Amino acid sequence: MTGYTGKILRVNLSSGKISIEEPEENFYRTYFGGWGFIAHYLLKELPPGIDPLGPDNKFIYALGPVTGVALGGNGRNAIGAKSPLTNAFGETDVGGFCGAELKRAGFDAIIVEGKAEKPTYLWIHNGEAEIRDASHLWGLQTREAHDAIRQELGDQRIRTALIGPGGEKLVRFACVLNDLNHAGGRTGMGAVMGSKLLKGIAVRGYTAPQVADEEGLRKIVRWLADNVEELSGGLKDSGTSGGLLNLSLSGGLPTRNFQEGSFEGAERITGVTMRDTILSGRGNCYACPVFCKREVRVEEPYQVDPIYGGPEYESMAALGSFCGVDDLKAIAYANQLCGAYSLDTISAGVCVGFAMECYEKGLITKKDTDGLELRFGNAEAMVQMIEKIGQREGFGDLLAEGVYRASQEIGQGSEEFAMHVKGQEVPMHEPRIKFGLNIGYATSPTGADHVHNIHDTAYTNSTRDLKHLGILEPLPADSLGPEKVRMTMYHIDWSVLVNCLGLCLFLPYGILRTRDIINAITGWETTIYEMMKVGERALNMARAFNAREGFTAKDDVGLRRFSTPFAAGPKKGVKVGEEEFQKALKLYYQMRGWDLETGAPTAAKLYELGVGWVADELRKHGKLPG
Amino acid sequence: MTGYTGKILRVNLSSGKISIEEPEENFYRTYFGGWGFIAHYLLKELPPGIDPLGPDNKFIYALGPVTGVALGGNGRNAIGAKSPLTNAFGETDVGGFCGAELKRAGFDAIIVEGKAEKPTYLWIHNGEAEIRDASHLWGLQTREAHDAIRQELGDQRIRTALIGPGGEKLVRFACVLNDLNHAGGRTGMGAVMGSKLLKGIAVRGYTAPQVADEEGLRKIVRWLADNVEELSGGLKDSGTSGGLLNLSLSGGLPTRNFQEGSFEGAERITGVTMRDTILSGRGNCYACPVFCKREVRVEEPYQVDPIYGGPEYESMAALGSFCGVDDLKAIAYANQLCGAYSLDTISAGVCVGFAMECYEKGLITKKDTDGLELRFGNAEAMVQMIEKIGQREGFGDLLAEGVYRASQEIGQGSEEFAMHVKGQEVPMHEPRIKFGLNIGYATSPTGADHVHNIHDTAYTNSTRDLKHLGILEPLPADSLGPEKVRMTMYHIDWSVLVNCLGLCLFLPYGILRTRDIINAITGWETTIYEMMKVGERALNMARAFNAREGFTAKDDVGLRRFSTPFAAGPKKGVKVGEEEFQKALKLYYQMRGWDLETGAPTAAKLYELGVGWVADELRKHGKLPG
């Protein structure tokens, strides 16, 4: 092997032109993949101020060095574009088999430009690509579209990334659905597909990706096989929502639009209960022995098919406790509806929960809700509202705009409890039990986001080993002191890096073994230093993208609800103090080398990260601080 | 092994109290050793504004994790105190066997406080320490003192760190001489010993230091044995001055007080010529297979004994080309005088060269120089002036104050060509062929210093592998653009880290193997990330020390001579442009998180490095920026 390189597929739907680019090795080593690729292309190729739902936006599906390698945790891919939900850097993570298939088809990323004249889908097979008519698929739910594509291409092993009617109708938080049961939910990437009349991507490939050190990789595969039961057995047993009850007992389960931290119905919707009732099987991503994926079957009163998967923790909480709903079957059905229509379960749940609070407070009535009694705990109303959002029907048409725009329309103070940052709905993690989280929510380029921000105490998950980064003592979750700010920064850089790798944060590799994996695959002899800088680089490039779009420090807000003390429960009285938060936020900016006023990375930071061209780009648009 | 820890020996010469401290493992992991230890203790224990030659100063001899381990390159120790030359953070590196012996005697560092009533020396043996009378040794040259100590303690294997009359007489650039042929030259640490009436330290120990992974370490020892000839054979063959002629040919050999970059007599003083003429043997540091140390014998007209070692590159250039001297024997003799009197060869040579320029320009005459014809090229005058400095006799008494103070006294514009930063004489590396060097000179907490700054092009020495840090392309030596500023920062952090390890920069381990060495010894599973932060932390603490002492950005000066173009030679016309330099300096500050006005690390930087207590300390003294 002479170096680690690959291919990027570029498809222009306006012109029909398909081309293949082969960046040099240093491009791969500078950005690795995922978020790094997306930030690079969006900064290089999107003029500022474009309409995210117009033809100038670009839809990027990006893999990483681990994608498609026969190693657990390789299944996470990144999907990016300018977000129609936030008008900022948009990025979402998705699991499954589609990425591995794409890598085996010969590509590290797809860039889709322009807009098709009629509904289309992309068919990628073994190094080639073809734009195909999807007129007959337009309007179909994802499952029907998926089946039709496999049928017409005559291959039942084809993998798909699709949108349903929600994406077609430009629901601002429409997701991209991979193989029907893995959702790239956040920042409305499904709406970007819809705006391009791109129904989906179908992929088939047969070439195993290159690995520099096969034996080195085999050792890690064997290690995982030997340890997966002990280290990740819980995830297999009861899935990502296995800890939901404990979270409620500790006062940190988002409940009734973040008004509370404990939910009286938690036990009925925990992963353990799901396991013991409706679970019909366990799924995985490509080559992964963890099997955290749920498959559920419900016959009545709703019909839920295992093919759509079962609710993850985020979905369970957002459609459950967040809406005060403890009806597991209803949640599973709503989860299926989100898959069928291609809606983000988090945003959808937050929108419904928000509407419920509006309803209970009398800001909206049955007249507004098409007759639905939209109270917390009304499972049937929740289900119906999800369907209305997917159809953009009645009140659902307003909620399909997301909680920020809906609250602007409803007004009457509802803006105060519309749980979003930069327009993206807050995920199911409570800053009042993990103070550092609020910094992550406020400053994430994608708006309120959990993937890169959920850690707060040292030594958890793949960042359990912060010692290797020089953080030698664990820190209490309920502090926002300078040490916590530092730890939050390290966590976020690492998490963004893991995204660039295409690796799953749930795998128990830890920092050192993650490095070894990358070296086995690429032969680079990279270090944690270089890797941390890759994460930091990608994050800063996304911040630079937002600065170019006009975002400033004013957009990095802490939510008032999180600085309001819990009225009851085990965390009664606990809040993230506003002054404490502002102080921590300022320190975080300074640690990061971000300008206090504009929130943009300084030239010094960008040069230090080796991307002077990003500084030039900001300077060109008058957005470089100083 | 339950953790990597050790012992610190504390000796108070005023009270005679001797105590042993055992810091916890995280202390070791946070600072590693060397510069890190020194910065920690000076910041914690020295009140600001103390007289560096008074009893309040503390003399610290610090080892690192590699010290005393049977592995090549373990011989470098750090010696620190507030510097009498600069009134700033003082630190010098020294090689030899003394450190290994001290480690085997059970200690990782010695802190000497107070001032003795009469001349004393310290006798450390196998976990114990004793303050002994040195009245009979005071006034002796180092060799005589060394022999007397071995004699009276009855052990010819005792190792010593000594001063001669230069240190006793408080020559501001007096060195500490280990085993007669290894000098800790910079920042006047020998004068600090002299001020405490501490003639020296004698050490003997028998306990091998702990190693967590013996087999892992053995592998590296074997690797070095197998590769040392190929990778470091040149150093063995012709020593550190082996490249002196090429340097002259390329226009970068400091010549006649940095007025020129090529020396017509270079071939006569190169390491190759030394090898073929006066070389009598090759020495090493403890357990090192490189054998870069020179031993030389001269019978006439000077008597030079191999016991004092032969001139290193720095000494050869400073006493040679810098003074226009091409008489190898005279240089070897002057080098021996510096050892006997305990003078830093760099500072001594720079002082003499400075005086020569003054003399040639008519600013001083024979009346000032005690009758010496102090012209460039006058070898005999150079030798006599060194002796006068060591004795603080006549004109030598003025030069013993260092070039900064001497130029203040001489005046008449001589300040313009007094080659120093912060009062410390510039070493033998020319910024006009390595532009990044000027940033290092200007900003080093120790004043103009080479150890942490000599690299300029990527992939040299132990930092040849900057790729592992994410710098993927080599950079031209004659640029000061943003990429160079970044590289300079990385180089310096790495070099300070290597100091903290107690490792020699000449060993060909590279970044990855250096990490493996530390892990084999400590069992920490540290990463390059953690290690780079240790270096950065130590550097920033030294900057904080200086800020507390009142230093500001105004003290970080680029020398006018380096922004003057070479008048002739291969680099004719080349200069480090003043504007270019100022721009790069500002960017360097910003990258580092240093305040533009005070040059001090910001609170954010200190918190990010996990040393909030340093921020508190600066705040207490009104020196924390912002």
DSSP string, B209-255: PP-S-HHHHHHHHHHHHHHHHHHHHHHHHH-TTTTHHHHHHTT-S-B
Residues of chain B with pLDDT > 70, as a percent, come to: 98
For every residue of A581-597, DSSP letters joined together read HHHHHHHHHHHHTB-TT
Q: What is the pLDDT of residue A458?
A: 44
CA angle (B355, B358, B363) in 5-degree steps: 130
Average pLDDT in the B477-500 region?
93
pLDDT for the residue numbered A2: 62
- Across chain A, how many H-helices and E-strands are there? 23, 16
Chain B: nearest CA to A603, how far in angstroms? 8
CATH number at residue B581: 1.10.599.10
| Residue length of chain B | 626
Contact between chains at A470 and B533 (C-beta distance less than 8 A): yes
Q: Touching check for A571 and chain B: CB below 8 Å?
A: no
User: What is the C-alpha to C-alpha distance for residues A171 and A177, in angstroms, rounded to an integer?
Assistant: 14
A529/B532 Cβ within 8 A: yes
Please report, for residues A55, A177, A567, A570, the alpha-carbon distance to residue A193 in angstroms, rounded to integers and kept in the order given.
10, 11, 43, 44
Q: What is the pLDDT of residue A461?
A: 47
pLDDT, residue B476, reads 87
Does any CB of chain B come closer than 8 Å to the CB of residue A607?
Answer: yes
For the stretch B202-237, pLDDT in tens is 999 999 999 999 999 999 999 999 999 999 999 999
Q: What is the pLDDT confidence band of residue A462, given thresholds at 50, 70 and 90?
A: very low
- Checking if the pLDDT of A167 tops 90, the result is yes
Cβ separation A590–B593 shorter than 8 A: yes
Q: For chain A, how many structural domains are there in total?
A: 3
Q: Which residues of A touch B488 (CB under 8 A)?
A: none
Locate the chain B residue with the closest alpha carbon to A519. B468
Q: How far apart are CA B8 and CA A623, in angstroms?
A: 52
In what side-by-side order are the strands of the sheet with A8-12? A18-21, A8-12, A109-113, A59-62, A77-82, A89-94
Residue B461: is its pLDDT beyond 50?
Answer: no
Neighboring chain A residues of B471 at a CB cutoff of 8 Å: 610
Residues of B in contact with A529 (CB under 8 A): 468-470, 527-529, 532
Q: Is the pLDDT of residue A166 over 50?
A: yes
Q: Domain end: B185, B204, B223, which one?
A: B204
- Which residue type is seen at B144? E
Query: Is A47 part of a structural domain of the chain?
Result: yes
Question: Is A300 in CB contact (< 8 Å) with chain B?
Answer: no
Q: How confident is the model at residue B626 (pLDDT cuts 50, 70, 90)?
A: confident
Query: What 3-state DSSP class applies to A176?
Result: strand
CA A511 centroid distance within chain: 21
Mean pLDDT within A181-195: 98
Average pLDDT taken over every residue of chain A: 96
DSSP A4: -
- Sorted by sequence, the CB contacts under 8 Å of residue A464 that are 6+ apart come out as A458, A510
Q: Are residues B410 and B540 in the same domain?
A: no
CB under 8 Å to B246, separation ≥6 — which residues? none
Q: Tell me whether residue A114 is in a domain.
A: yes
Q: Which of B204, B230, B258 is the last residue of a domain?
A: B204
Containing H/E element for A470?
none
Name the 3-class secondary structure at B10: strand
Does A400 score more than 80 pLDDT? Answer: yes
| Rounded mean pLDDT, A395-409 | 98
Question: Is residue A221 situated within a structural domain?
Answer: no
**B510 and chain A: CB distance < 8 Å anywhere?**
no
Other residues' Cβ atoms within 10 Å of the Cβ of residue B525 = 16
In a domain, A211, yes or no: no
pLDDT at B1: 46
Give the whole-angstrom CA distance, residue B415 versus residue B19.
Answer: 46
Is the CB of B610 inside 8 Å of chain A's CB atoms? yes
CATH number at residue B74: 3.60.9.10
B-chain CB neighbours of A32 within 8 Å are: none
Q: Calculate the CA B12 to chain-centre distance.
A: 25
Q: Give SS3 for A201.
A: strand
Task: Decide if A608 and B593 are in contact by the 8 Å CB cutoff.
Answer: no
The answer on B461 and B418 residing in a single domain is no
Q: Are the beta carbons of B445 and B545 closer than 8 angstroms?
A: yes
Distance from CA of A423 to the nearest CA of B (A): 29
Which residue from B482, B530, B591 is facing A469, i.e. has the nearest CB? B530
- Which chain B residue is nearest to residue A470, measuring alpha carbons? B530
> Which residue do the tokens 């410390």 mark?
B424
A147 has pLDDT over 70: yes
SS3 state at A575? coil
Give residue B462's pLDDT: 45
Residues B445 and B410 in one domain: no
B223 occurs within a structural domain:
no
Residue A477's pLDDT band (cuts 50, 70, 90) = confident
A249, with CB counted inside 10 A (0-12, 13-18, 19+), is middle
Quick one: average pLDDT of A350-375? 98
B30, B483, B607: residue with CB nearest A591: B607
* A64-69: average pLDDT: 98
Q: Which B residues in the span 580-599 are in contact with A, Cβ-Cβ below 8 Å? A: 587, 590-591, 593
Query: Quick one: B171 and B265 in the same domain?
Result: no
Give the 3-state secondary structure of residue A87: coil
Question: Is A476 within a domain?
Answer: yes
CA-to-CA dists, residue A596 to A267, A483, A584, angstroms? 44, 20, 12
Are B394 and B513 part of one and the same domain? Answer: no
Interface membership of A608 toward B (CB under 8 Å): yes
Tokens standing for B540? 């920033």
**pLDDT score of B458:** 44
- The answer to whether residue A603 neighbours chain B at the CB level (below 8 Å) is yes
Nearest CB among B590, B605, B607 relative to A485 is that of B607
Mean predicted confidence (pLDDT) in B540-549:
98
- B25 has pLDDT over 50: yes
Taking CB atoms and an 8 Å cutoff, what residues of chain B touch A528? 527-530
Bridge partner list, A61: A79, A110
Query: Distance between CA A511 and CA B529 in Å, rounded?
Result: 11
**A484 contact B CB<8A:** no
Structure tokens that stand for A355 in this block: 């509407």
Rounded-to-integer distance, Cα A145 and Cα A124, Å: 16
Q: Do A486 and B605 touch (CB under 8 A)?
A: no
pLDDT of residue A294 exceeding 80, the answer is yes
Å from B528 to nearest chain A CA? 6
Q: Which two tokens stand for residue B416?
A: 């313009």
Interface-testing mutation among A608, A614, A619, A624, with chain B (most B C-beta atoms within 10 A): A608
Backbone angles phi, psi at B311, to 5 degrees: -65, 130
Nearest CA in chain A to B615: A482
Kindly identify which residue of chain A lies nearest to residue B584, measuring between CA atoms: A604
Shortest CB distance from B482 goes to which of A483, A587, A607?
A607
Q: How many Cβ atoms sit within 10 Å of the Cβ of residue A103?
A: 29
Cα A565 from Cα A554, distance rounded (Å)? 24
On whether both B44 and B109 belong to a single domain, the answer is yes
For residue B557, the 8-state DSSP code is P
Q: How many CB pairs lie under 8 A apart between chains A and B? A: 117
B455 vs chain A: nearest CA distance in angstroms? Answer: 18
Clarify whether residues A292 and A439 are in a common domain: no
pLDDT at A1 > cutoff 50:
no
CB A587 to CB B607 under 8 A?
Answer: yes
Is B225 within the bounds of a domain? no
The Cα–Cα gap between B45 and B43 comes to 6
B391-429 tens-digit pLDDT:
999 999 999 999 999 999 999 999 999 999 999 999 999
**Chain A contact for B30, CB < 8 A?**
yes
In the numeric block, the tokens 């100083």 are attached to A626
Is the model's pLDDT at B588 over the cut of 50?
yes
Chain A residue with CA closest to B605: the answer is A591
A546 and A408 part of one domain: no
Distance, CA of B67 to CA of B78 (rounded, Å): 11
Residues recorded for chain A? 626
Determine the residue of chain B that is closest to A472 in CA distance: B26
Answer yes or no: do B588 and B518 share one domain.
yes
pLDDT band at B475 (very low <50, low <70, confident <90, very high): confident
A105: closest CA of chain B, how far (Å): 29
Cβ distance B608 to A30 less than 8 Å, yes or no, reads: no
Q: For residue A239, what are the contacts with CB-CB under 8 A and spacing of at least 6?
A: A271, A274, A275, A282, A292, A293, A294, A310, A312, A313
Q: Which residue of A has its CA nearest to B528?
A: A529
| C-beta atoms surrounding B409 within 10 Å | 10
Inside any domain, residue A626: no
Contact B470 A605 (CB under 8 A): no
B404 and B466 in a single domain? The answer is no
For residue B17, how many other CB atoms are within 10 A of its CB?
Answer: 12
Residues A613 and A472 in one domain: yes
Decide which of A151, A185, A204 is a domain's last residue: A204
Q: Do B527 and A526 touch (CB under 8 A)?
A: no
Q: Do B530 and A26 touch (CB under 8 A)?
A: no
- The arithmetic mean of pLDDT across residues A195-222, rounded, is 97
pLDDT interval class at A453 (50, 70, 90): low
Cβ atoms within 10 Å of A444's Cβ, excluding its own: 27
Give this complex's ipTM: 0.96
The whole-number average pLDDT for the span A194-220 is 97
As a whole-number percent, the residues of chain B with pLDDT over 90 amount to: 95
Closest CA to A279 of A291, A288, A289, A290: A291
Whose CA is closest to A202, among A221, A184, A177, A225?
A: A177
> Residue B378 sits in which domain range?
239-425
Residues A45 and A164 in one domain: yes
CB of B14 within 8 Å of any CB in chain A? no
